[in-house]
Every structure is written in structure tokens, then in C-alpha cells.
Amino acid sequence: MAKSSRKVPGLNASSMADVSFLLLTFFLLVSNMDVDSGLARRLPPPPQSEDQSSVDVQRRNLFVVLVNAQNETMAANQHGTEWYANEAELRGEVGGKVALKDRVKEFVLNTSNSPDLPELEEQDFGAPIGVVPVTAAHVVSIQNDATTSYKAYIAVQNEVVRAYNELREEGARKYFNTSYGELTEEQQKQIQDLYPQRISEAEPKNYGGGQ
């Protein structure tokens, strides 16, 4: 007697696409993705002409902060040079070194009117600040080696920005008797004009690790 061949019933796969889509949506919603956070700092406006990019900065107006391949930091201007081996030294916590932020503040203010620091010129910032001598041409130049670690570079960035933040906080309390965060937008603009963030970031280069 011949065996009858049975046909295997076909599977209904019409809903597989919907299930796959739901699974994909689920994993997208519950998965954590690493996102690089940027620096909380307002960038300077773009130059008005190509000529401005070629303006020479006098040596006394330039403060160079260089991070080398060994993640060591050199801070140098006409007033002197300091080397920082790690983040603790950057913050002035060990080694008896002056913190980087304090060196930046000294450079920006030039309260002693030193010829080695940026030249002071009087500017009117409006009431209640009035006419104040400021270093209008100062520039903090941050440079790094192509192999500098991201952590070391950000640590230097943080210290330089902290210097400007402290100057603005001190200015707010001196002229408005309150914290910078409590000022109106117009008052904050006055303080920003008084202490503008003049930070230049150069393209990474292969400087090497030697001092």
C-alpha cells in the first residue's frame, strides 16, 4: 500500500516584522549611549575679516599653556614659567606650586601694573562699575600635543575657565554686592565685558614629551 505524502503546513510569519520592530524599539529606549559632553563655555564671535586672524600678539599679552605627550603642563609668559606634572599640581594642592587658575587670574588682572604682564588701559563699563583699568589685549593660548590624553586636556581647560569664572564672581560681588548667577542679563553682560574669556585653542601638534 503506497504511503500518502503529507504536506507540512506553512508557518505564518506575517507578524515577525512587527515583533522585530517592537524589540528594536525596546532596546533603543532602555539602552544607555555614551555621549561626549562639550565645554560649558561661550565661544568668541567669528573674526570680522581675514586680517584679524593674522594680528600679532605682543609677548607680554600672551600666556601659553602647553600640554605635552606625557600629560605634563607648562604655563609660561614673560613673568615666568611653571611646570605641572598632574592635576593635583594644576590645582595647587601639592608640590607648593601656584595653581594654574591663580596664575591666569594674575595675568588677566595685572594689579601690580607689571611690564611683564598685559598692558593696562582704562575703559568705561557703565554704572556702577565706571572707568576701570583692564588688560584689553590679553590672550590665554592653550596648546597640546597630538597624543595628549583627553582627560589631561580637559583638566587644563577647566582650570583656565575656572579662573575667568572666579573673576566674574568676584566682580559681581564687588560692584553689585551679589553673586554672578543672581545678576540680571544686562549686569552679567557688564561683568562679561569687564572679564571677557580671551582663550585661543591651537591645533594639536607633535611637540614631543621633553621639557
Residue boundaries of the structural domains of the chain:
61-201
Residue 109 has pLDDT above 90, yes or no: yes
Taking residues 163-174, report their average pLDDT: 96
pLDDT of residue 43: 41
Residue 73, helix vs strand vs coil? strand
The side-by-side arrangement of strands in the sheet containing 139-144 is 80-84, 73-77, 62-67, 139-144, 199-201
Contact 60, 119 (CB under 8 A): yes
pLDDT digits 0-9 by tens, 52-94:
444 455 889 999 999 999 999 999 998 889 999 999 999 999 8
- 49 burial type by CB count under 10 A (0-12 exposed, 13-18 middle, 19+ buried): exposed
Helix or strand holding residue 189 (H, E): helix 185-194
Beta bridge partners of residue 80, listed in sequence order: 77
pLDDT of residue 3: 56
Contact 33, 27 (CB under 8 A): no
Residue 84, helix vs strand vs coil? strand
Residue 178, helix vs strand vs coil? coil
DSSP single-letter state for residue 53: G
- pTM of this prediction? 0.71
Report how far apart, in Å, the C-alpha atoms of 137 and of each of 59, 61, 177, 197, 200 are. 11, 6, 28, 11, 13
Tell which wins on pLDDT, 6 or 107: 107
Give the count of alpha carbons within 13 A of 92, CB side only: 8
Residue 114 has pLDDT above 60, yes or no: yes
pLDDT digits 0-9 by tens, 144-167:
998 999 999 999 999 999 999 999
Query: Which cell numbers hold the place of 72?
Result: 605634563
